[in-house]
Amino acid sequence: MEFSGKVIAILPVRTGVSKSTGNEWKVQSYVVENHDQYPRRMCFEVFGSDKIDQFNIQMGDELNVSFDIDARQWNEKWFNTIRAWKVEKVKEGAAENQPAAEPVPPFAPDPAPFPGGDSNSTDDLPF
């Protein structure tokens, strides 16, 4: 799945130690807002200090985020995790350099009469 938008929040880094392996882990969450008429926000996380450094996400960055969704249960409640596996920064000005969509001409009714209709009639209805 993918989501595109602007980074509007960077949450504090969370760290810990794995109970099973004893290895340290690091995760950071980010909030991205899209540019739809009714903007939507998505909070996603990046797991691992290597990925956090690689993606180098900053406030205000325009991103395309590829992610997976998973759910887990804790104390009889379910929680979703949205974990990014690829983050691409949108190049500045990329949206400005794209050609604008051609305007759609307004609807014009067909001047030909309906099949079986009287061409002299001023009524557009065929019945």
Give residue limits of the domains in the chain: 2-91
Burial call 27-36: b when 16+ CB within 10 Å, e when fewer: bbbbebeeee
The confidence score (pLDDT) of residue 117 equals 53
Q: Is residue 44 a contact partner of residue 9, using CB atoms and an 8 Å limit?
A: no
Q: What predicted TM-score, i.e. pTM, was given to this entire model?
A: 0.69
Angstrom distance (rounded) from CA 66 to CA 44 = 10
The confidence score (pLDDT) of residue 120 equals 57
The confidence score (pLDDT) of residue 91 equals 83
The confidence score (pLDDT) of residue 99 equals 47
Which own/partner contact pairs does 9-17 have at CB distance under 8 Å and 24+ positions apart?
A: 9/59, 10/57, 10/58, 10/59, 11/43, 13/52
Q: Where are the alpha helices (DSSP H) in the chain?
A: 49-55, 94-97
Kind and range of the H or E run holding 79: strand 77-89
Neighbouring C-alpha atoms within 13 Å toward the C-beta of 52: 18
Regions of the chain short of the pLDDT cut 70: 92-127
Domain 2-91, CATH class in plain words:
mainly beta
């079986």: which residue's tokens?
116
Summarize pLDDT for 37-72 with one digit per residue, the tens: 999 999 999 999 999 999 999 999 999 999 999 999
The confidence score (pLDDT) of residue 111 equals 54
